Amino acid sequence: MISPEIIRRYPFFAGLTFEQIEFLAQTAEETTVEANSYFFHDGEALDSFYLVLEGAVSIVEEIRIGIYGRFLGCLSEEFYLFES
């Protein structure tokens, strides 16, 4: 569970009722992700939603001929990231 106040900080959730925000807060899990970890890779079946509470997330497109990637952007605190 996380605090409903954390969810309210994000404009994405502005249209939700208090009850809906409470439900999300009760079902959410807070986790810490190590640097250089991947949330997902292109083409994977996904079922999660992440809120960046602290730090930043880089969006990288991998080049299929090796380990190199093209940097597409960065999300910092108070942004959200879909897996879908």
Cβ pair 38, 44 in contact under 8 A? no
User: Going by C-beta distance under 8 Å and a sequence separation of 6 or more, which residues neighbour residue 18?
Assistant: 4
The Cα–Cα gap between 76 and 51 comes to 10
SS3 38: coil
Q: What is the mean pLDDT of residues 41-59?
A: 79
Q: What is the pTM of this model?
A: 0.59
> What is the per-residue pLDDT for 76?
54
**Which has more pLDDT, 60 or 49?**
49
pLDDT tens sequence across 24-48: 999 998 888 888 888 877 788 878 8
**Which has more pLDDT, 4 or 36?**
4
SS3 67: coil
> What is the per-residue pLDDT for 83?
41
